[in-house]
Amino acid sequence: MTTLHAPPRRAAVTAPPRHRFRPELLLWAVVAGALAVIGLWWRGTPSVSGLDGWLTESGRITGLLAGYGMAVLLGLMARVPALERGVGSDRLARWHAMGGRYVIGLVVAHVLTIIWGYAVADQSGVVDEAVTMALSFPDVLKATVAFFLLLGVALVSARAARRRMRYETWFYLHFYTYLAAWLAFGHQLATGAQFTGDRVAQVAWYVLYLGVAALLVWYRFLGPVRVWARHRLRVTRVTADAPGVVSIHLTGRRLARLGAEPGQFFRWRFLTRELWWSANPYSLSAAPDGGGLRITVKALGDHSAALARLRPGTRVIAEGPYGGFTGRLGRSPKSVLIAGGVGITPLRTLFETLPGQLTLLYRARTPEELLFRDELEEIARVRGDARLYCSVGSRSPDLFTGLDRLLPDLREHDAYVCGPPEMTRSAIQALRSAGVPAHRIHHESFEF
């Protein structure tokens, strides 16, 4: 805790005001793409006649949309910096989860209606038709495999199954969707009625899929490699901050050029025998400076527990910086930060660096779980324009009822919330009912 006493850096002031990518923009782009896909169907379909026509064409529309949706879902997870920063990694993950369920629904609808429609047209049984299609239509067998892979991933991602599974297992099972997307791609062009002889549509489809593949390779897979090549991060020391909470200090080359801002996080891959295969997201718990980085982790799972055993010198591959939970979100000169438990980590860096009048409300279950207490007090003392309120106790519904009494001008504040899901929810509720507009409430939550 000796590096802290430098005057607080005002990142939001010194950083050039960059244009922020607006989340709605991404949504509109996705919707426009979907409309274009429907237009493709519209152009290539002369008529819809009979029960078989209705079924088959339903199958085609849902199939086209599912094919498009697959590409979009993969694109959302490609870790494109503009999206990670502008939309926020947590929101991307939520959209991905929501969209994922929808696309699975489209895929199931596509398979059922296409088989049924063809069966009606050929006057054969549904099962016979399914077998015929899978075995004799070009690339449909591969697509069938893709279908079952997707169903499998959907089942393990379902909330009920997810709870009984390790994060890492779930995470790696998700990579089968790449295989599924690849297997399903062939039949889209080989049997898709809308693509037959339509060079423009084929090229557009190739551009969509190759574009997403390029994004994945460049950002998701080569991104960490580039960071490693440039910065050579290593663990310098591991300190225990509280029962079950450790801080990991890291160093590396040219850290200033990492471009990390207070409030952001990286996905960390520690190259030890037990940890190398998983990359987990942890926020920086100290404002990044040229000298070193620090993350603080609460032992919630196997991975975070193993971090306590890290040795100095361990090589680290970091992916990032990610996350839009930074001072760029703020518009008001006054900010209130609300932290719950280990959710203090990104807010601790904002508390150090946000300009203007600051109030930090920090809640933890026990006094030992109040992390960085000395550091926070020191920051408040050095800044002079920051107030710190710590409280201890178990969850209670009226946790935030005194909020507007504490800050009579609450509605003029930007609010930053980070903590356990229930706490985040009740904090947002309290802020909303105190009259803080929704666009001034910024929160980050990770529920995988």
The footprint of another protein (CB under 8 A) covers 38, 41-42, 45-50, 52-54, 56-58, 61-62, 98, 101-102, 105-106, 118, 121-122, 136-138, 189-193, 195-197, 202
Structure tokens at 69: 């949706």
CB of 32 to another protein, least distance (A): 16
b vs e for 96-123, b when ≥16 Cβ sit within 10 Å of the residue's Cβ? bbebbeebbebbbbbbbbbbbbbbbeee
- CA angle 139–145–146, rounded 5-degree value: 85
> CB of residue 95 vs another protein: minimum separation in angstroms?
12
Which CB, 63 or 321, lies closer to another protein? 63
Q: Please tell me whether residue 414 adopts helix, strand or coil conformation.
A: strand
H or E segment to which residue 358 belongs: strand 357-364
Give the nearer residue to another protein in terms of CB position, either 139 or 378: 139
Residue with Cβ nearer another protein (6 or 27):
27
Phi-psi group of 139: left, alpha or beta (phi > 0 → left; psi -120 to 50 → alpha; rest → beta): left
CB of 49 to another protein, least distance (A): 5
End-to-end CA distance of the chain: 32
State the pairing for strand pair 357-364/386-392: parallel
Query: What gap in Å lies between CA 17 and CA 29, rounded to an integer?
Result: 24
Helix 50-76 × helix 23-44 angle, to 10°: 150
Least distance to another protein, CB of residue 44, Å: 8
Which helix (H) or strand (E) is 192 found in, with range? none
Buried b (16+ CB within 10 A) or exposed e, 251-274: bbeebeebebbbbbbbbbbbebee
Q: Pull the structure tokens for residue 243.
A: 């029962």
**For another protein, which is the closer residue by CB, 89 or 194?**
194
Q: Smaller CB distance to another protein: residue 101 or 254?
A: 101
Minimum gap (Å) between residue 48 Cβ and another protein: 4
Give least dist CB 106 to another protein, A: 8
Residue 175 to residues 66, 69, 169, Cα–Cα distance (Å): 18, 16, 10
Q: Which is nearer to another protein, 205 or 282 (CB)?
A: 205
**Rounded CA gap, 24 and 28, in Å?**
6
Q: Which is nearer to another protein, 43 or 254 (CB)?
A: 43
Name which of 192 and 321 has its Cβ closer to another protein: 192
To another protein, the closest distance from the beta carbon of 47 in angstroms equals 4
φ/ψ (deg, to 5) at 248: -115, 125
Residue whose CB is less far from another protein, 137 or 170 = 137
* Between 113 and 296, CB nearer to another protein: 113
Q: Is the peptide bond before 321 cis (omega within 30 degrees of 0)?
A: yes
Helix (H, G, I), strand (E, B) or coil at 318: strand
